[in-house]
Structure 1
Amino acid sequence: MNKPAPATHPGGLVGVMAFIGIVAALMQTLVIPLIGELPSLLDTTTSDASWVITATLLSGAVTTPVAGRLGDMYGKRRMMLMCTVPLILGSVVCALASSVLPMIAGRALQGLGMGMIPLGISALRDLLPPERLNSAIALMSSSMGIGGALGLPVAAIVAEHTSWRVLFWGAAALSMLIAVLLWAFVPATPASGARGRFDAIGALGLGVALVCLLLPISKGADWGWTSGATLGLFTAAALTFVVWGKWELRIRDPLVDLRANADRQVLLTNTASVVVGFAMYAQSLIIPQLLQLPEATGYGLGQSMLAMGLWMAPSGLMMMAVSPLGARLSSARGSRITLLTGCLVIALGYGSAVFLMGTTWGLILVTCICGSGIGLAYGAMPALIMSAVPLSATASANSVNALMRSVGTSISAAVVGVVLAQMSIQIDGYTVPTEVGFRTGLSIGCGAAFLAAAIALAISSAQGNQAVENPAVVKV
């Protein structure tokens, strides 16, 4: 007979997880409308103000795999509740900040809470019956698109009509609400079988390696790509990763099971995640600039920050709208086909930009097509990962997959930034990218989407069609 899943309120559970995804994405886009004003608000330089974004990226990247491993060892719900603590504290610190250092510290604390996303996706495997699993994973993955799309206009409206501090007080309130909802609707996850001691040395080594890798990617444009600091950090990252990898292979209870991550399906899915993250972020960097550049350029559309955010919002709604379709496709044909379809849809969106970038409605159609593809791909990747790893490693494996997407977005920001900076002109004393620069960036995004599709094809159909094992339903 079948034993029911331990989740007594599956609808409430899925709703809470989707809400977590929305709020996590809101945290990342919260400060974007403030970027131009931060130097004056915090009495600092533009270069130092950029650390408000970089700090969140770095702390989130370092913490995510650590939170995943701890979730496997001590329970995913427990770790998700713990992740709300730095979210709340960081939001309060930012709301009270009057200079740049407290703001950077607060944003770094907020980044520590980003591990909730892979933990939540992994918890769904433990708590839901098989027939609801694919749709729940797809919904939670796509909810991050909703948060990202809604974050811009909401933050712009709040910053324009009230104090910027209200943004962070609101973030603190949302974080406290997450803690309450987790306590009320998410039951404790079953024991996953992970044993052993926590790999503190591995966590420290991975943290150092990631900082050495992501910091020059984020700041290379300011420092110079051939500067001593940039090249030195890249070299340090490579050496640290080698030493860290040897350590992880030697010890009994590693932070990241490199042998499991070397499995063909896991390795190819993580590789695809880097490329999909690249493709996703390229259009989110290019299209807002096209919307906001003055019409006098001949290709800009002259929209305000608020209008741009509102025009971009439908793409996030499309991500959530396609999530049920992606779940059905995964159930019928396998998650590999869903990932492949999503990558091809993203490529179609970029390709359509060649003909549609001259009008506002055209660009919105481009973002909606890309958003649909991203929704399909982001829903498929966690399912592919979880069908290839044991229950005792689901949170850790999902955290590594989330980290790979973050690496892809960081590389995308650097590459697109270089392309637009190199292909720019002076207009009224301001440096703006040329139309050719934007088209080149969109072409690169299209190529990345096709590359991700090729990687998805390399996942064998037998592996990619495998159902996600769900121990919540036990045959007796």
Structure 2
Amino acid sequence: MTIKSLQIERSESRRHVLFVVVLIAIELFAVIETAMAFAAMPTFMRVFEADATAVGWTSTAYLLVGAGSAATSGRLGDIFGRQKVLTLVLVGAVIGSIVSALAVDLWMIVLGRGLQGLSAGAIAISTGLIRELLPERRVPVAVALLGGIIPIASGIGALVAGVLLDQSGWRLMFAAAVVLGTAAALLSQFCIPATPGITPRPSVDLVGAIMLVPATAGVLFGITKGGQWGWLDWRVLSPILLGLVALAAWIWWERRVPEPIVDMRQFRNRKVSLTTLATIVVGVGPLGLLTLLSPMIMQLPKETSIGHGLSPTAAGAIQLLICIVCYGGAWWSGRISTRVGARWSLVAACVLYIGGAGAWFLVSESLIGTVIALGAVLMGHNLSLPAVMNLIVEAVPADQTGAATGMNRVIMNVAVAAGTAFGSVILGIFTVSGSNLPSESALTVGFVAIIATSVVALALALLIGDRRSADRNAPMNAERGAAKAAV
């Protein structure tokens, strides 16, 4: 290798590193913007005198809209160019933060959080950008680092939210989200290379995206209200039945439309179908349930026998510390995926989920023990989130990456939404007598569910085949080489 060629390679390597750093910064800003509201749920319960079921919709609304955004954004990025679509979804999330900041009641915050869910499309678009613009050997680690930033960004969001809630109130928290979202949109617009879309441009399944959100929301709304109104109440049965009918219609539509948001044909690929099942189980269990349970454990009063009575700031600082320590898991996830295949990263994540959730039963009365147990589960997040993305990347051709990862994010978001809805039902059923606060039984049921779903996910991960099942060297389109040269 000549000195000149070595210099060229080093220059390209620096550009690739800078590109990934910019993508991570965008994802960091976007996730912090949306994660702050998760940490504020105990505050919303107090300020609006609402129960856990109602406040849980600040999370569920975000996740449901995020499902539609992940689906359409990945495909729209494939078609029209990923940089352009990435900027647009970030702008939409900023508008949602503005709505929440101006809210006069809890349900206006739910509306704003729904709009913030548009930012969920960013991860699918960014994964497609990595696949499109980086050499193949760099893709697994880059994807892992991008996916692994989600938990650490959530930790930063929890800390920022805690400080703002303690010092200035929840409105300033959403105002800060406006600033962060704007910064992410500006980075996307001016620091990410413009990429060509597919030509000729195929159609986009907007109908499917629109149908998915209310169909899923109807089922989840009925489930969350069942314990409060009674499972045979028409106000519970009606949305569940209508939602199921709408979901059946959505499946019928997706099987017939030329360019569906969820391509049912991809499930013929054994690796894709098993990864999807594992995504659902992990989303409902460790990801969905812990999203709701973690702030309750840290912030609820000690008198409830399940909380440690920390302020939002202290709880956020602890979560951030855990996430920083655990971020190395994302790097290891990428290394594992490169060396032996992404399924072993998912296996390791499930073992951590089971161990962390099981340990909580032994150490729940100790703050340090609780932090260690939750840290093990969060380390699992840093392994599992990159793992499922890399499993999809391994399984599909290059020109289907955006749509396939978008499909996976759709399923993940719906699963996490179902998990948070399930968690809010548990917290609403098992309460301290004479109050809306959850009891010790609520957390017991929640952590048993985390362990059970993790065992199922572990079994599915062991069934997933090793290495690649698709031609990852397939070109995205005729202009892909030119796009790479721009990085």
Instruction: Identify the TM-score tier after normalising by the shorter chain.
Output: 0.7 to 0.9
Q: CA deviation at 1:467?
A: 8.4
2:292 to 271, 279, 285: 285
Residues in 1 aligned to 2:71 and 2:227: alpha-carbon distance in whole angstroms: 27
Cα deviation code 1:245-292 (max 9, x no counterpart): 233222333333210234211111111111112212323433433333
Residues in 2 aligned to 1:31 and 1:249: alpha-carbon distance in whole angstroms: 36
List aligned pairs for 1:280-429, cutoff 5 A.
280-296=287-303, 300-426=307-433, 429=434
Amino acid paired to 1:301? H
Alpha carbons of structure 1 residues 41 and 284: separation in structure 2 relative to 1, 3 Å: closer
2:485 corresponding residue in structure 1: none
**2:395 partner SS:** coil
List aligned pairs for 1:47-446, cutoff 5 A.
52-98=58-104, 103-192=109-198, 195-277=201-283, 278-296=285-303, 300-426=307-433, 429-430=434-435, 432-446=437-451
Residues in 2 aligned to 1:432 and 1:22: alpha-carbon distance in whole angstroms: 32
Structure 1's unaligned 5+ residue stretches are: none
Amino acid paired to 1:451? V
Q: Does 1:454 align with 2:454?
A: no
Q: CA deviation at 1:38?
A: 4.8
Q: Which moved more, 1:315-324 or 1:141-150?
A: 315-324
Is this contact kept in 2: 1:33–1:159, CA < 8 A?
A: no
Alpha carbons of structure 1 residues 351 and 105: separation in structure 2 relative to 1, 3 Å: closer
Q: Which moved more, 1:407-416 or 1:99-108?
A: 99-108
Q: Which moved more, 1:261-270 or 1:300-309?
A: 300-309
Alpha carbons of structure 1 residues 225 and 118: separation in structure 2 relative to 1, 3 Å: farther
Residues in 2 aligned to 1:257 and 1:281: alpha-carbon distance in whole angstroms: 24
Cα deviation code 1:318-341 (max 9, x no counterpart): 442211111111111001111111
Alpha carbons of structure 1 residues 292 and 173: separation in structure 2 relative to 1, 3 Å: closer
Amino acid paired to 1:181? L
Q: Which moved more, 1:136-145 or 1:65-74?
A: 65-74
Amino acid paired to 1:95? A
Q: Which moved more, 1:172-181 or 1:195-204?
A: 195-204
Q: Which moved more, 1:191-200 or 1:303-312?
A: 191-200
Q: Which moved more, 1:12-21 or 1:220-229?
A: 220-229
Is this contact kept in 2: 1:7–1:13, CA < 8 A?
A: no
Q: Which moved more, 1:252-261 or 1:192-201?
A: 192-201
Cα deviation code 1:102-140 (max 9, x no counterpart): 544433322223211211122111111122211111111
Q: TM-score, normalised by structure 2?
A: 0.86
Is this contact kept in 1: 2:66–2:118, CA < 8 A?
A: yes
Residues in 2 aligned to 1:159 and 1:446: alpha-carbon distance in whole angstroms: 32
Q: CA deviation at 1:37?
A: 5.3
Q: CA deviation at 1:305?
A: 2.8
Q: CA deviation at 1:367?
A: 1.3
* Identity among equivalent pairs (%): 28
Alpha carbons of structure 1 residues 217 and 138: separation in structure 2 relative to 1, 3 Å: farther
Residues in 2 aligned to 1:16 and 1:229: alpha-carbon distance in whole angstroms: 47
Is this contact kept in 1: 2:39–2:316, CA < 8 A?
A: no
Alpha carbons of structure 1 residues 233 and 319: separation in structure 2 relative to 1, 3 Å: farther
Residues in 2 aligned to 1:431 and 1:169: alpha-carbon distance in whole angstroms: 29
Is this contact kept in 1: 2:36–2:154, CA < 8 A?
A: no
Alpha carbons of structure 1 residues 160 and 295: separation in structure 2 relative to 1, 3 Å: closer
Residues in 2 aligned to 1:45 and 1:301: alpha-carbon distance in whole angstroms: 21
Residues in 1 aligned to 2:430 and 2:451: alpha-carbon distance in whole angstroms: 18
Alpha carbons of structure 1 residues 407 and 318: separation in structure 2 relative to 1, 3 Å: farther
Alpha carbons of structure 1 residues 178 and 425: separation in structure 2 relative to 1, 3 Å: closer
Q: Does 1:11 align with 2:17?
A: yes
Amino acid paired to 2:237? L
Cα deviation code 1:138-184 (max 9, x no counterpart): 11111110121221221121122125332222212212211221123
Q: CA deviation at 1:377?
A: 0.9
Aligned residues: 470
Q: Which moved more, 1:27-36 or 1:245-254?
A: 27-36
Is this contact kept in 2: 1:7–1:128, CA < 8 A?
A: no
**1:30 partner SS:** helix
Alpha carbons of structure 1 residues 356 and 206: separation in structure 2 relative to 1, 3 Å: same
Q: TM-score, normalised by structure 1?
A: 0.87
Q: CA deviation at 1:451?
A: 0.8
Alpha carbons of structure 1 residues 355 and 222: separation in structure 2 relative to 1, 3 Å: same
Amino acid paired to 1:235? L
Alpha carbons of structure 1 residues 351 and 40: separation in structure 2 relative to 1, 3 Å: closer
